[in-house]
Chains A and B, each alone.
Chain A
């Protein structure tokens, strides 16, 4: 939406873009292995996981601990080894958000994408404790009226 830029002229800071690799792809998208992780400052804390070879395809992701502080992902040992994680400090988690027209977004807590923050290689992991979590955990949004089609057009720039 162009109006995002018109209404929020202060949010013109360049997006941060990192190339990331998912050697196993995402479940259902196993053939796509190269992505760009894009952080637009005005969309924080959301990030875009965009297919590198196709700029029309992307997932919205978010660090789960920002929205579900009690989240306790138990990452299977095989995945820890696959990613070369030597401890929790090596891991960077992003969980996929399903927008559902932005008024009722949900976050997938069963299958986080775990990255090794040093190598930027990641994998969508099925948690050992996946049974404790939902693939459609509701994400709390500000209020119905502010999350319709183009929030930046409705809300004055802060």
Chain B
């Protein structure tokens, strides 16, 4: 593993298109900004691994018996849109901290 020393405000460039910037150092917490093309997924490793493990546990066989759910209180509104997508009209910066 390549180990580099960086000060707050300094950056590392990877492959000419990914910039990793040390934004701030506060005690034991380092804030890192990553500027990368939008098609390049960037994740916190522990969240990524948690979902990966969950997917592996969820893999099943198509004939597995399914649980019965209580009657849904809401009528299943056809085409109900997610209430999220809050970033849809947000700023376009790819700098994630």
Which residues B58-72 have CB closer than 8 A to chain A? 58-70, 72
Within the complex, which residue of A56, A127, A128, A129 is in contact with B62, where a contact is CB–CB below 8 Å? Answer: A56
> B56 — which chain A residues lie within 8 A by C-beta?
28
Q: How many residues of A contact B (CB 8 A)?
A: 72
Q: Does B29 contact A (CB under 8 A)?
A: no
> B65 — which chain A residues lie within 8 A by C-beta?
1, 4, 102, 149-152
Q: Does A7 contact B (CB under 8 A)?
A: no
- The verdict on A59 contacting B60 (CB below 8 Å), with A77-B90, A108-B54, A147-B67 known, is yes
Q: Decide: A72 and B67 in contact? CB cutoff 8 A.
A: no
Chain A 49-72 interface 0/1 with B at a Cβ cutoff of 8 Å (1 = within):
010000111111001011101011
> Taking chain B's interface residues, is the majority helix, strand, or loop, or is none over half, making it mixed?
loop
Question: What is the bound-complex CA distance between A149 and B63, given in angstroms?
Answer: 12
Q: Does A110 contact B (CB under 8 A)?
A: yes
Q: Decide: A59 and B58 in contact? CB cutoff 8 A.
A: yes
> A97 — which chain B residues lie within 8 A by C-beta?
58
Q: Decide: A151 and B68 in contact? CB cutoff 8 A.
A: yes
Which 4 residue pairs across A and B have the least CB separation, nearest first? A88-B81, A28-B52, A73-B84, A111-B51
Starting from the known contacts A78-B39, A88-B82, A129-B84, 7 additional A-B residue pairs (CB-CB under 8 Å) come to: A66-B72, A73-B82, A78-B94, A88-B85, A98-B58, A126-B47, A142-B70
A/B interface sample: 25 pairs, CB < 8 A? A1-B63, A26-B55, A28-B55, A29-B55, A46-B66, A55-B62, A57-B59, A57-B61, A58-B61, A60-B64, A65-B83, A66-B74, A73-B82, A74-B84, A88-B82, A88-B85, A89-B79, A96-B54, A126-B47, A126-B51, A135-B50, A141-B67, A142-B69, A146-B68, A150-B65
**A residues neighboring B (CB under 8 Å):** 1, 4, 24, 26-29, 38, 43, 45-46, 48, 50, 55-60, 63, 65-67, 69, 71-78, 80-82, 85, 87-89, 91, 93, 96-99, 102-103, 105, 108, 110-111, 114, 117, 124, 126-130, 135-136, 139-142, 146-147, 149-152, 155
**B residues neighboring A (CB under 8 Å):** 38-39, 41, 43, 47-48, 50-70, 72-74, 76, 79-88, 90, 92, 94
